[in-house]
Homo-oligomer: A and B are copies of this chain.
């Protein structure tokens, strides 16, 4: 209670710039007065909307934004193989397949899989840091007042785990079931190996205490994922999946959370925005830049009959790395 509280600034929907999806220009980005507005709105360290007093239309825009549907596409958290390399599973298991934790960034435990521990090789879990990232995003979503009304995830374990941790922070883990949609799985050309990874079934996920929907009929069943698919096949299944996801969701507003791969921030938003698929080489280059828990947020503009990219409801999460350390090597390096 003796801490200065962080000002969360004005509500995003009111401050969201007028945005043309065709040209990606922001009137606010061009307005030299906008930074000053932001600073003055924070004067008392309290959320405060400077536009509110200017005209009655801001109240209407607030009402419209509450009723608007939103789609928040989020990348999963840090995966354990990203930190410990391809041999990560050998580093944390005995020859007879028992899991142990050689570093605190390995998760405390692994869910049970019917084929045993080896299937984690191509479907790795979140690291401890990935859990931290997911929880930070969930906590920030709670504080932003974002009303998450449905959740869809890629069938990759790291995505289902990320969704679970976000929902736990939102205190929605029991209310909102996770709908697993294989149609938004990673472009299979980017997956290691010549076969598609053996992903966990809904039954296995349920056994492992994930609150997955057993009723949801996905646009693409797990068995339909083919190895080394073409870029066109990949963007097509994402577009078809998004069409089903959006038509499944309530027409009464609220935000649909989609937890997928970095690629989903592009391939799952462009169909909504009625943009053609990006050039394949550009796509690969851009997707590499998307951090864990990176987000894109689309809002429906019913009046104009279209979806628009707007500011995500929460801030980014940017942090450094922590290198490996062995005090024995260190003292020997005398």
Contacts and interface: CB of A to CB of B under 8 A. Distances in A.
A103 B315 contact: yes
Contacts of A26: 328
Interface stretch (A94-102, A228-236, A299-307): A94-102
A29 interface: yes
Interface in A288-334: 289-297, 309, 312, 314-328, 330-334
A327 B295 contact: yes
A322 B318 contact: yes
Contact of A128 (B7, B44, B99, B136): B136
Instruction: Count copies of this chain in the complex.
Output: 2
Interface string A1-39: 111111111000000000000001010010000000001
Contacts of A7: 98-101
A134 to B, nearest CB: 12
Contact of A278 (B94, B108, B328, B334): B334
A125 to B, nearest CB: 10
Interface residue SS majority, chain A: loop
27 contacts: A3-B112, A4-B98, A4-B112, A5-B108, A6-B101, A6-B106, A8-B100, A8-B101, A24-B328, A39-B95, A42-B94, A42-B100, A43-B98, A44-B98, A78-B320, A78-B322, A83-B318, A83-B319, A101-B315, A103-B317, A104-B317, A265-B327, A289-B323, A289-B330, A291-B323, A316-B324, A317-B322
Given A78-B319, A289-B325, 10 more contacts: A4-B112, A8-B100, A43-B98, A128-B317, A290-B325, A316-B324, A317-B322, A318-B323, A318-B324, A319-B322
